Structure 1
């Protein structure tokens, strides 16, 4: 073979590499078979005061839907789930059930080995439902029109619940596709086969909901205009900005341009890519952070074929926001987790491109995190920051009367903001668990509050 050709990738090599990468992005947890679902459902004790319900942010009657599965009433199980969580299919796939319902399952003790697999049973019910007609019927038109800003989990949940009450809803979405976090921010192997969009199609089938794309609050959309043309406004904005490390040379070029990139930006590109082999891939990459996004980023880089992936966190493993289950996924994929270290300096090569990061070792001193002065370096072609997102104030720059709390929009117990007729929910309000299922619950409860307020106004009139 000619020396100039022997190092070129051969067709067979490319096909093998593609198959390997695609295999890494198949379903993280294979779905239960019918037999498995029936057997697993019969492990449930159908507790009267079920602790799993108390642990479920969306108040699903878990023992009821599991009993319905055991009785082979799959549509009944799906209806039980969807009445409380219209995005129950995606939540079954992405929610950290290991620290929510399953952690509180009465079978979750050493003698049983594991709790009832609630999340996988929930997925089974939604995946196998088959209704002759849509299970939700829109009430007669109320004559009211509500604006929902943001077609993420909170906004979609709010829109659907409002539609069930007969209100017309217009969803204003900044991107060209709905779904928010489910479409753009979840690891690709957790939501496969374009599931987020299929679920949204089902949700919208109730009718009465219009989506307008390319509508961004603070750019071509403002609250004053929304209020003039609608009877109420719900803000499901999510968190539109990323926290920065605050280091010099963060924008230095690298394999991922810039070399130090927010993990959410890369995950968004990865989820929208039609060809994973065309994505920029770092041979050595570093992920800074400790949450599920950091783990998602690290695992996906490993599955794309990176040779060395290191996740670095400034505190200990016990303080990591990522669940133990997520951490195990990272380790199983060859991700090295380094703790008690914080970024100190971006390292550049002689051409000014990213070459790695210098870290300072940390420790707790009188209860506070402190640097030890000892440093070490990690070579990297790309560094991904996953140290959290923050609220984008640009979207509400003109709405000064909207009070804030801990950097987010303040709401009362009924998701009302300090501006009359404006409600908010999801990640853009005061911090909670920042989970998809929590955002869905916020949207649902806010819709009920909006409905009650609109009906009260009608009675007064």
Structure 2
């Protein structure tokens, strides 16, 4: 956040350390054993299991809940991890309220679903606390696979390939593996360095080497990887950030929300992290909510989230919207930025009211200004550094089947690939399925 720290209105230590520690505690407290048993007892174990159908990784939810009920949470964890090796993180960040829990029969009948996410966390935490790995590598195949990107898709792909007996070298541009789980998730969703601990646990399968500080075009060539390895998987995510494309966007204090969240996640001392007094977040997705809520938790006096369409079109779930409101974030809809004003540093954001007109978003011509000394851009991310030869549509890599790209021997998955929602759980599913397809291709 290079143009933030020197901006006069953006200061560290807006709250004392003990307040910040309280503010950034675990969003959902883990279940105790007796709480988990009570929660599991509410499951009807439906024969058609709509929750399982709604899960992008197809976890056998009724089975793992029954295993918790019978006092075998480690067995429940293995049921989860067989389908979703990052089940611990997904239990923390997955929008279960719009996936498995939304279709739960208890939700339909009573408006109170089985707490599937918290039960999943209970089981996976129990197993990880044993510091053992539940899977064993198959005999070595002699095949080598390069995985570019150590985020959820890359990690899931690498683990499944290693389990099949292949040797995997995983590359990542950042100094740590984990991708968005490490750098892009709100701090109150992943406490106590869980993302890093989960990566270390996952690597316990063996057969995976991690090399950080390397990206395509910067230390890595796809052509060379194709030559050196039997297959390549691209899980490179979306590193670029969309611009507001308005006058004054280059003023001090206008930064992308992704960088702000990454800085917060890597901060050793939150009192040293500067935040504005009046913050405006532009966007309506999960990243926008995370930036807005965490600004408030850091001590911003006023935080406004400005979204160009209506509440019903926001990418953030109703739960996330309610969370933001509960923390004092003001959500303004049907407004879009038209200019950033200030003398060198942002002082105000000018917004225009919008309306839908025959399915098109148009400005009404009526504008107003909000005081702001910090503005976060959270209007989507873009693919960067895609090698030649890949087919790109709508800013993403086109894939067929289980992640096959237009280049022979190259697969892709996660946020960088076309199709599916940009969710951790979806990325895990795509990485896992690509690994299965790679294995079939390599073994004939």
TM-score (norm 2): 0.95
Q: Deviations over 1:297-319 (max 9, x none)?
A: 00000000000000001111111
Shift of 1:69: 0.2
C-alpha distance 354-133 of structure 1, shift in aligned 2 (>3 A): closer
Asked if the contact 2:14/2:298 (under 8 Å) is kept, the reply is no
Number of the residue aligned with 1:248: 247
Q: Which is bigger in relative contact order (C-alpha 8 A, separation at least 6)?
A: 2
Q: Deviations over 1:440-460 (max 9, x none)?
A: 00000000000000000xxxx
Q: What is the 5 A alignment of 1:226-241?
A: 226-241=225-240
Tell me the equivalent position of 1:338: 332
CA gap 1:355/1:171 in 2 versus in 1, 3 angstroms: same
Determine the structure 1 residue equivalent to 2:312. 318
Aligned-pair distance for 1:202?
0.9
Partner Cα separation in structure 1 for residue 145 and residue 287 of structure 2: 32
Task: Supply the distance in 2 between the matched residues of 1:264 and 1:368 (Cα, whole angstroms).
Answer: 28
Q: Structure 1 residue 406: deviation in Å?
A: 1.6
Residue 133 of structure 1 and its aligned partner are, at CA, apart by 4.7
Matches within 5 A, 1:353-368: 353-368=345-360
Distance 2:133 2:87 in 1: 16
**2:348–2:370 contact (8 Å) kept in structure 1:** yes
TM-score, length basis structure 1: 0.92
Runs of 5+ unmatched residues, structure 2: 1-12
Q: How many residues align?
A: 431
Q: Return the offset for 1:131.
A: 5.2
C-alpha distance in 2 between matches for 1:39 and 1:50: 20
Other-structure match for 2:430:
442
Provide Cα deviations, 1:310-357, integer angstroms capped at 9, x if missing partner.
Answer: 0001111111110000000000000001111110111114xx221010
Per-residue CA deviation, residues 118-163 of structure 1 (Å, 9 max, x unaligned), is 0000000011126585211011110000000000000000000000
Aligned mates of 2:230, 2:220 — CA distance in 1: 16
Q: Which residue of 1 aligns with 2:123?
A: 125
Counterpart of 1:114?
112
Unaligned runs of 5+ in 1: 1-13, 254-258, 457-461
In structure 1, C-alpha distance between the alignment counterparts of 2:14 and 2:254, rounded to whole Å: 31
1:136-151 to 2 correspondence within 5 Å? 136-151=135-150
Partners of 2:182 and 2:293 in 1: how far apart?
Answer: 18
4+ residue stretches of structure 1 with deviation over 6 A?
Answer: none
C-alpha change, 1:162 and 1:388, in structure 2 (3 Å) is same
Q: Which residues in structure 2 correspond to 1:392-431 (within 5 Å)? A: 392=384, 395-396=385-386, 399-431=387-419
Match of 1:204 in 2: 203
Quick one: distance in 1 between partners of 2:44 and 2:76? 16
1:381 corresponds, among 373, 387, 393, to 373
Judge conservation of contact 1:146–1:168 (CA < 8 Å) in 2.
yes
